[in-house]
């Protein structure tokens, strides 16, 4: 970084599961001055012990360039009210990661700010997340800044706001679908006599390896091709997949994602 370049001040409001992941990732970069706001005293203390600057409320924050709001959707109104009375907010970017909260809703509280709606996912905790960003009011400068911040949590992509609920069902909730599958696979492994530690290694490396293979082959193969590569005619995988598909797996899984998409 050029020594003369200004360091952007980024505050994460709500440092629970996602906020903590974001704060940890963003604060690892020397490009930003970070702080957090967390109302849960225990969580706030744990964060301070890790060296983060953490306040009890939005009111106490220093001047900030980018506010990242990571509270539950039901806590948004309170945070937006607190933000709306801050002097610096009309010059700032306000980036919300709350599922289902529309930019139009935030705009009612913050008339002049640049408002972005984002959907990260929990692999952000290890810099391996993917974040969908809807930022219709942004110019190049604001888009570059928000992308620069969230690149520290993994990959980023811009998307129309109208597609955000569908993206949430795919990648926001997505890790949980794989974790549920891993839980079921672990139970099966244990019931079949495989030791817990061995089962965990087998499953986590199978998921991680499959993910890396998908990424590696993305340009020259599709997901169907990868599945077919594992599925020899008349073999074990085919027996399993036929059972899933003949019993409505695709239908029920799509319906589940519709539930996620339509939740808010």
Ligand X SMILES: NC(=O)c1ccc[n+]([C@@H]2O[C@H](COP(=O)([O-])OP(=O)(O)OC[C@H]3O[C@@H](n4cnc5c(N)ncnc54)[C@H](OP(=O)(O)O)[C@@H]3O)[C@@H](O)[C@H]2O)c1
Largest CA distance in the chain: 68
Sequence-ordered strand ranges (E) for the chain: 8-13, 32-37, 54-55, 66-69, 93-96, 114-119, 129-134, 154-158
- Does residue 22 touch ligand X according to CB under 6 A? no
Looking up tokens 């599922």 gives 99
One residue of 68, 71, 130, 164 binding ligand X per CB under 6 A: 71
One residue of 119, 130, 146, 203 binding ligand X per CB under 6 A: 119
- Does residue 129 touch ligand X according to CB under 6 A? no
Task: Find the helix packing angle between 17-27 and 41-49, rounded to 10°.
Answer: 20
- Applying CB under 6 A, what is the total number of residues that bind ligand X? 26
Report how far residue 167's alpha carbon sits from residue 149's, in angstroms, rounded to the nearest whole number: 20
Report how far residue 190's alpha carbon sits from residue 198's, in angstroms, rounded to the nearest whole number: 10
Name the residue nearer to ligand X (CB basis): 75 or 186. 75
- Does residue 18 touch ligand X according to CB under 6 A? yes
- Does residue 125 touch ligand X according to CB under 6 A? no
In the complex, the smallest distance separating the C-beta of residue 48 from ligand X, rounded to whole angstroms, is: 14
Structure-token pair, residue 179: 């974790």
Q: 174 phi and psi, to 5 degrees? A: -45, -45
One residue of 14, 132, 154, 174 binding ligand X per CB under 6 A: 14
Helix (H, G, I), strand (E, B) or coil at 181: helix
- Does residue 13 touch ligand X according to CB under 6 A? yes
Q: Interacting stretch for ligand X, rule CB under 6 A, among 45-53, 67-75, 183-191, 199-207?
A: 67-75
Q: Interacting stretch for ligand X, rule CB under 6 A, among 4-12, 32-40, 183-191, 220-228?
A: 32-40
Neighbours of 156 (CB within 10 A): 20
Structure-token pair, residue 223: 């997901």
Q: 40 phi and psi, to 5 degrees? A: -75, 115
- Does residue 155 touch ligand X according to CB under 6 A? no
In the complex, the smallest distance separating the C-beta of residue 225 from ligand X, rounded to whole angstroms, is: 30
- Does residue 132 touch ligand X according to CB under 6 A? no
Name the residue nearer to ligand X (CB basis): 120 or 154. 120
Residues composing the chain:
264
- Does residue 116 touch ligand X according to CB under 6 A? no
Q: What is the DSSP letter of 73?
A: G
- Does residue 78 touch ligand X according to CB under 6 A? yes
User: Which helix H or strand E contains 216, and what residues bound it?
Assistant: helix 196-217
In the complex, the smallest distance separating the C-beta of residue 11 from ligand X, rounded to whole angstroms, is: 10
One residue of 94, 172, 199, 203 binding ligand X per CB under 6 A: 172
Binding site for ligand X (CB under 6 A): 13-14, 16-19, 37-40, 43, 70-73, 75, 78-79, 97-99, 119-122, 172
């Amino acid at each position: 970084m050029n020594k003369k370049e200004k360091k952007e001040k980024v505050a994460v409001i709500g440092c629970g599961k996602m906020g903590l992941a974001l704060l940890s990732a963003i604060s690892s970069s020397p490009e930003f001055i970070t702080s957090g706001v967390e109302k849960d005293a225990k969580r706030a203390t744990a964060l301070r012990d890790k060296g983060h600057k953490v306040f009890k409320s939005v009111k106490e924050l220093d001047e900030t360039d980018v506010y990242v709001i990571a509270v539950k959707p039901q806590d948004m109104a309170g945070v937006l009210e607190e933000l709306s009375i801050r002097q610096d907010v009309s010059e700032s970017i306000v980036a919300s990661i709350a599922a289902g909260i529309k930019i139009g809703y935030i705009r009612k509280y913050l008339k002049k700010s640049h408002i972005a709606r984002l959907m990260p996912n929990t692999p952000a905790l290890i810099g391996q997340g993917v974040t969908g960003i809807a930022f219709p009011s942004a110019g190049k400068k604001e888009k570059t800044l928000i992308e620069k911040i969230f690149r520290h949590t993994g990959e980023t992509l811009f998307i129309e706001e109208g597609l955000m609920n569908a993206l949430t069902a795919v990648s926001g909730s997505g890790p949980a679908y794989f974790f549920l599958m891993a839980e079921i696979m672990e139970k099966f492994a244990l019931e079949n006599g495989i030791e817990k530690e061995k089962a965990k290694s087998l499953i986590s490396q199978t998921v991680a390896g499959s993910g890396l293979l998908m990424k590696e082959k993305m340009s020259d193969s599709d997901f169907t091709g990868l599945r077919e590569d594992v599925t020899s005619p008349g073999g074990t995988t085919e027996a399993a997949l036929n059972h899933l598909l003949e019993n409505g797996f695709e239908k029920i899984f799509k319906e589940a994602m519709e539930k996620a998409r339509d939740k808010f």
